[in-house]
Amino acid sequence: MKADRSPMSEADKAQFVLGVYFRTQAAIERFMGVDGLPQWTEHVASINAEAARRRVPDAAGQARDLLTGLESMLEVYGSDTSRTETPDRTRLTVRRCGIYDYRERAQQQGVQLTLKRPCEFCVDLHHRTANHLGVTVEHELGERSCEWVAHVPPGDQEGPAS
């Protein structure tokens, strides 16, 4: 019997990669355990900060980039977000976090989850990354929602490019 070798659609490829990423993260969380997870989070935050420094050389751009990365990740999961920018801050409002929905579907398919909420990893990761970059960041959690503000340091009064 021959295997079906029909090409995957772009949507199927995206879901496949998302599934691999999500299951890998869930396995890391389970392996590290709640007590060991901060060590992993610190490691990932240092990598993220170094990547931001290489991608965006100025501090103001790095402050904005911090929430751009979070926004991009949330979009992959189908979250409902909006973004506002002023010269001194960038705000990301998450009206509905799609990671919750994805987690519930994954759990129904047998993925073992360690953390009660995805926020436990996400908040720690983004605060640690901000700390590595010297960015002041604030967040407020809701029920399957959140709001983030990254303060943009002086020096780039033009704000984001139009």
- Residue-wise pLDDT tens digits, 80-97: 999 999 999 999 999 999
- Closest to 153 in 3D by CA, of 42, 71, 65, 50: 65
Across 78-95, b (16+ Cβ under 10 Å) vs e yields ebebeeeeeeebbebbbe
Phi, psi of 88 (to 5 degrees): -105, 0
CA atoms within 13 A on the CB side of 56: 17
Q: What are the residue boundaries of the structural domains of the chain, listed by start?
A: 80-162
Q: Which residues of the chain have pLDDT under 50?
A: 157-162
Question: What is this structure's pTM?
Answer: 0.83
- Residue-wise pLDDT tens digits, 136-162: 999 999 999 999 999 999 865 444 443
